[in-house]
């Protein structure tokens, strides 16, 4: 009877020692493992969640064929983000193109333990009246209509990361960093697959700036291009709205002359 307790205690000590040895052995193995092998193992873990790790920027980013693509977008996602530990600024830009209402949305802020930002493109099944946009379901767009997104996320004057890809939902999340949404700034460029889509987006952006000045603040700069344009040759022009208190300040450098053409 008196031997049971010492035996249990001895067994627990042995288990603890074995777990410590095993943990150190795994750590040594990981330290000796080539970087590319580490990336493969990490991405094997994150791929089922729709993400991969981008070593060059030290961020997790969404896969083009992520399962989230089947979910589309609706306003309720943003409405209830705080319940899931996400404190975000978001900005919606609606535009009508090919007899459907399209949406490009930007997000930035704190995603749990991650500082991050996103940009996505979606479209409805038809033209959606302005007063019904928050209740409408928007779907992701086919690959042929995807723009090329590029953005840099800044905290103050310092860049946090940069990412670029032809995508429907381009994201970046830096794990283990904390930022207030007001501290973050996005510099975004969008290269559209056609001039018609570019012009439609610019019209929607101008409409957004005209109708929502009171809810706009310093958060993003947007540069819109046609596919055949060279971003390096562009110079800023177009509408710019002064800073407010919440939301986004958007500047557009698209070829505005094509609207009047």
Instruction: Give the integer Cα–Cα distance in Å for 131 and 104.
Output: 17
What is the model's pLDDT at position 231?
A: 41
pLDDT at 170: 97
Taking the C-alpha atoms of residue 57 and residue 11, their distance in angstroms, rounded to an integer, is 46
Is 69 within a domain?
yes
Determine the pLDDT at residue 26.
Answer: 67
Retrieve residue 13's tokens.
Answer: 């000590």
Q: What pLDDT sits at residue 9?
A: 75
**Residue 18, pLDDT score:** 80
pLDDT of residue 110: 96
Q: Is residue 106 part of a domain?
A: yes
Residue 43 located in a structural domain: no
Do residues 21 and 35 lie in contact, with contact meaning Cβ atoms separated by under 8 Å? no
Residues 178-223 have pLDDT tens digits of: 999 989 999 898 989 998 998 899 899 888 876 554 333 344 556 5
Nearest to 90 by CA among 134, 126, 125, 124: 134
Within-domain flag for 37: no
Contact predicate 234/225, CB 8 Å: yes
Decide if 248 is inside a domain: yes
pLDDT of residue 51: 97
243 part of a folded domain = yes
pLDDT of 217? 36
Q: Give ∠ CA 146-240-101 in degrees, rounded to 5.
A: 35
User: Would you state the structure tokens that stand for residue 71, as one six-digit string?
Assistant: 């979910």
Q: What is the pTM of this model?
A: 0.77
Greatest CA separation for the chain = 96
- Give residue 106's domain range: 57-260
- pLDDT number for residue 213: 40
Per-residue pLDDT at 228: 47
Phi, psi of 251 (to 5 degrees): -120, 140
What is the residue whose two structure tokens read 């193109």?
A: 97
Residue 40 within a domain: no
Residue ranges in the chain whose pLDDT is less than 50: 213-219, 228-261
The pLDDT of residue 160 = 96
Domain count along the chain: 1
Q: Is 45 within a domain?
A: no
Contact between residue 122 and residue 145 where contact means Cβ atoms under 8 Å apart: no
């Amino acid at each position: 009877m008196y031997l049971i307790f010492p035996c249990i205690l001895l067994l627990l000590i042995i288990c603890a020692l074995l777990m410590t040895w095993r943990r150190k052995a795994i750590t040594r193995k990981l330290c000796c493992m080539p970087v590319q092998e580490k990336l493969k193992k990490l991405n094997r873990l994150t791929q089922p969640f729709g993400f991969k790790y981008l070593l060059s920027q030290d961020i997790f980013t969404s896969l083009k064929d992520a399962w989230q693509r089947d979910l589309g977008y609706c306003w309720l996602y943003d409405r209830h983000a705080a319940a899931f530990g996400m404190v975000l600024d978001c900005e919606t830009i609606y535009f009508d193109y090919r007899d459907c209402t399209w949406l490009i949305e930007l997000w930035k802020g704190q995603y749990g333990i991650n500082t991050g930002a996103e940009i996505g493109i979606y479209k409805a099944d038809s033209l959606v009246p302005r007063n019904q946009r928050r209740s409408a379901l928007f779907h992701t767009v086919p690959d042929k209509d995807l723009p090329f997104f590029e953005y840099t996320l800044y905290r103050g004057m310092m860049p946090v990361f940069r990412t670029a890809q032809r995508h429907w939902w381009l994201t970046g999340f830096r794990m283990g960093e904390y930022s207030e949404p007001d501290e973050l700034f996005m510099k975004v460029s969008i290269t559209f697959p056609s001039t018609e889509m570019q012009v439609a987006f610019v019209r929607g952006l101008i409409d957004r700036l005209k109708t929502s000045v009171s809810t706009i603040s310093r958060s993003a700069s947007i540069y819109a291009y046609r596919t055949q344009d060279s971003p390096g040759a562009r110079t800023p022009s177009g509408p710019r709205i002064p800073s407010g208190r919440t939301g986004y300040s958007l500047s557009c450098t698209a070829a505005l002359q094509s609207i009047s053409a």
